[in-house]
Structure 1
Amino acid sequence: MGKHQYDLATQARKPTNVSLDIALVAEAKRLGINISRACEVGLTEQIAKERGRLWKEENASALESSNSYVDRHGLPLSQYRRF
Protein backbone atom coordinates (compact mmCIF):
# COMPACT_ATOMS: atom_id res chain seq x y z
CA MET A 1 0.00 0.00 0.00
CA GLY A 2 1.42 3.39 -1.00
CA LYS A 3 2.10 6.37 1.17
CA HIS A 4 -1.20 8.05 0.30
CA GLN A 5 -3.42 5.00 0.10
CA TYR A 6 -5.72 4.14 2.92
CA ASP A 7 -6.83 0.90 4.53
CA LEU A 8 -10.56 1.30 3.95
CA ALA A 9 -11.41 -1.35 6.54
CA THR A 10 -9.80 0.43 9.50
CA GLN A 11 -10.30 4.15 8.90
CA ALA A 12 -12.81 6.19 10.91
CA ARG A 13 -15.90 7.11 8.94
CA LYS A 14 -17.65 10.45 8.43
CA PRO A 15 -21.29 10.28 7.36
CA THR A 16 -21.59 12.20 4.09
CA ASN A 17 -24.47 12.84 1.72
CA VAL A 18 -23.80 12.32 -1.97
CA SER A 19 -26.12 12.50 -4.95
CA LEU A 20 -25.87 9.47 -7.21
CA ASP A 21 -27.64 8.39 -10.36
CA ILE A 22 -30.80 6.46 -9.42
CA ALA A 23 -30.11 3.66 -11.90
CA LEU A 24 -26.55 3.22 -10.61
CA VAL A 25 -27.74 2.96 -7.02
CA ALA A 26 -30.42 0.43 -7.97
CA GLU A 27 -27.94 -1.70 -9.92
CA ALA A 28 -25.37 -1.53 -7.12
CA LYS A 29 -27.97 -2.68 -4.60
CA ARG A 30 -29.13 -5.46 -6.93
CA LEU A 31 -25.53 -6.67 -7.23
CA GLY A 32 -24.84 -6.39 -3.50
CA ILE A 33 -22.24 -3.67 -3.91
CA ASN A 34 -21.45 -1.64 -0.80
CA ILE A 35 -22.12 1.85 -2.13
CA SER A 36 -20.13 3.63 0.58
CA ARG A 37 -17.06 1.47 -0.05
CA ALA A 38 -17.41 1.81 -3.81
CA CYS A 39 -17.52 5.59 -3.40
CA GLU A 40 -14.45 5.45 -1.13
CA VAL A 41 -12.52 3.38 -3.65
CA GLY A 42 -13.45 5.75 -6.48
CA LEU A 43 -12.59 8.81 -4.40
CA THR A 44 -9.26 7.27 -3.36
CA GLU A 45 -8.42 6.65 -7.02
CA GLN A 46 -9.40 10.20 -7.99
CA ILE A 47 -7.30 11.65 -5.16
CA ALA A 48 -4.26 9.62 -6.28
CA LYS A 49 -4.80 10.70 -9.89
CA GLU A 50 -5.09 14.38 -8.94
CA ARG A 51 -2.03 14.20 -6.67
CA GLY A 52 -0.07 12.70 -9.55
CA ARG A 53 -1.24 15.42 -11.92
CA LEU A 54 -0.36 18.14 -9.41
CA TRP A 55 3.07 16.59 -8.76
CA LYS A 56 3.81 16.58 -12.49
CA GLU A 57 2.62 20.17 -12.78
CA GLU A 58 4.66 21.33 -9.77
CA ASN A 59 7.79 19.50 -10.96
CA ALA A 60 7.45 20.17 -14.69
CA SER A 61 10.40 22.56 -14.88
CA ALA A 62 12.70 20.17 -13.00
CA LEU A 63 11.64 17.27 -15.22
CA GLU A 64 12.12 19.39 -18.33
CA SER A 65 15.56 20.47 -17.12
CA SER A 66 16.59 16.89 -16.40
CA ASN A 67 15.31 15.65 -19.76
CA SER A 68 17.08 18.51 -21.52
CA TYR A 69 20.36 17.63 -19.78
CA VAL A 70 20.04 13.99 -20.84
CA ASP A 71 19.21 15.05 -24.42
CA ARG A 72 22.35 17.20 -24.54
CA HIS A 73 24.79 15.05 -22.56
CA GLY A 74 23.35 11.54 -22.45
CA LEU A 75 22.63 9.58 -19.32
CA PRO A 76 25.08 10.08 -16.47
CA LEU A 77 27.19 6.95 -15.93
CA SER A 78 25.86 5.46 -19.19
CA GLN A 79 29.26 3.89 -19.86
CA TYR A 80 28.58 1.53 -16.95
CA ARG A 81 25.23 0.29 -18.26
CA ARG A 82 25.15 -3.36 -19.29
CA PHE A 83 22.05 -3.14 -21.51
Structure 2
Amino acid sequence: MRTISVIKKRNTNVYLSVDLIEQAKALDLNLSATLNHALELAVKKGQRERWLEENRAGLEALNGFVEENGLFSDDAEFGVL
Protein backbone atom coordinates (compact mmCIF):
# COMPACT_ATOMS: atom_id res chain seq x y z
CA MET A 1 0.00 0.00 0.00
CA ARG A 2 1.34 3.42 -0.91
CA THR A 3 1.33 6.29 1.50
CA ILE A 4 1.24 9.87 0.36
CA SER A 5 3.28 12.42 2.26
CA VAL A 6 1.99 15.94 2.07
CA ILE A 7 4.59 18.63 2.61
CA LYS A 8 3.18 22.02 3.44
CA LYS A 9 4.67 24.82 1.41
CA ARG A 10 4.41 28.56 1.74
CA ASN A 11 5.14 31.37 -0.68
CA THR A 12 8.00 33.62 0.29
CA ASN A 13 10.04 36.35 -1.32
CA VAL A 14 13.74 35.92 -1.91
CA TYR A 15 16.11 38.24 -3.68
CA LEU A 16 18.64 36.60 -5.95
CA SER A 17 21.21 37.79 -8.41
CA VAL A 18 19.66 38.28 -11.86
CA ASP A 19 22.68 36.67 -13.53
CA LEU A 20 22.46 33.64 -11.26
CA ILE A 21 18.75 33.19 -11.97
CA GLU A 22 19.35 33.39 -15.72
CA GLN A 23 22.12 30.79 -15.50
CA ALA A 24 19.91 28.49 -13.45
CA LYS A 25 17.05 28.81 -15.92
CA ALA A 26 19.42 28.12 -18.82
CA LEU A 27 20.27 24.84 -17.07
CA ASP A 28 16.56 24.07 -16.50
CA LEU A 29 17.07 24.05 -12.74
CA ASN A 30 13.99 24.12 -10.56
CA LEU A 31 14.64 27.17 -8.38
CA SER A 32 12.19 26.21 -5.65
CA ALA A 33 13.54 22.67 -5.31
CA THR A 34 17.16 23.85 -5.46
CA LEU A 35 16.66 26.59 -2.87
CA ASN A 36 14.64 24.25 -0.64
CA HIS A 37 17.45 21.68 -0.73
CA ALA A 38 20.15 24.28 -0.07
CA LEU A 39 18.17 25.72 2.84
CA GLU A 40 17.61 22.23 4.25
CA LEU A 41 21.37 21.60 4.21
CA ALA A 42 22.08 24.98 5.84
CA VAL A 43 19.51 24.31 8.58
CA LYS A 44 20.96 20.85 9.31
CA LYS A 45 24.46 22.34 9.49
CA GLY A 46 23.25 25.08 11.85
CA GLN A 47 21.44 22.58 14.06
CA ARG A 48 24.54 20.37 14.20
CA GLU A 49 26.77 23.30 15.14
CA ARG A 50 24.29 24.44 17.82
CA TRP A 51 24.04 20.89 19.24
CA LEU A 52 27.82 20.58 19.40
CA GLU A 53 28.12 23.94 21.17
CA GLU A 54 25.34 23.11 23.65
CA ASN A 55 26.88 19.71 24.40
CA ARG A 56 30.55 20.67 24.28
CA ALA A 57 31.04 20.36 28.05
CA GLY A 58 29.61 16.84 28.12
CA LEU A 59 31.64 15.75 25.12
CA GLU A 60 34.82 17.13 26.66
CA ALA A 61 34.03 15.36 29.96
CA LEU A 62 33.49 12.07 28.14
CA ASN A 63 36.70 12.50 26.14
CA GLY A 64 38.58 13.27 29.37
CA PHE A 65 37.18 10.13 31.00
CA VAL A 66 38.26 8.00 28.03
CA GLU A 67 41.74 9.56 28.03
CA GLU A 68 42.12 8.87 31.73
CA ASN A 69 40.47 5.45 31.93
CA GLY A 70 40.46 4.10 28.39
CA LEU A 71 37.54 2.35 26.74
CA PHE A 72 35.68 -0.56 28.29
CA SER A 73 36.45 -2.53 25.14
CA ASP A 74 40.19 -2.10 25.83
CA ASP A 75 39.85 -4.43 28.85
CA ALA A 76 41.04 -7.98 28.07
CA GLU A 77 38.23 -9.32 30.27
CA PHE A 78 35.59 -7.42 28.32
CA GLY A 79 35.34 -10.07 25.64
CA VAL A 80 33.60 -10.02 22.34
CA LEU A 81 29.86 -10.42 21.88
TM-score by length of 1: 0.81
Q: Counterpart in 1 of 2:63?
A: 67
Unaligned runs of 5+ in 2: none
Q: Percent identity?
A: 30
Cα 1:10–1:32 change in 2 (3 A) is: farther
Q: Counterpart in 1 of 2:24?
A: 28
Count, aligned residues: 74
What one-letter code is carried by the residue in structure 2 that aligns with 1:13? K
Q: Are 1:16 and 2:9 counterparts?
A: no
Q: Counterpart in 1 of 2:50?
A: 54
Structure 1, residues 27-60: CA drift from partner, whole Å, max 9, x if none?
A: 0101100001110000000000000000000000
Report 1 or 2 for greater relative contact order, CA contacts < 8 Å, sequence distance ≥ 6: 1
- After TM superposition, what 4+ stretches of structure 1 lie above 4 angstroms from structure 2? none
Deviation of 1:77 (Å): 3.2
What one-letter code is carried by the residue in structure 1 that aligns with 2:47? R
Q: Please provide the CA RMSD for this pair.
A: 1.6
Unaligned runs of 5+ in 1: 1-8
TM-score by length of 2: 0.83
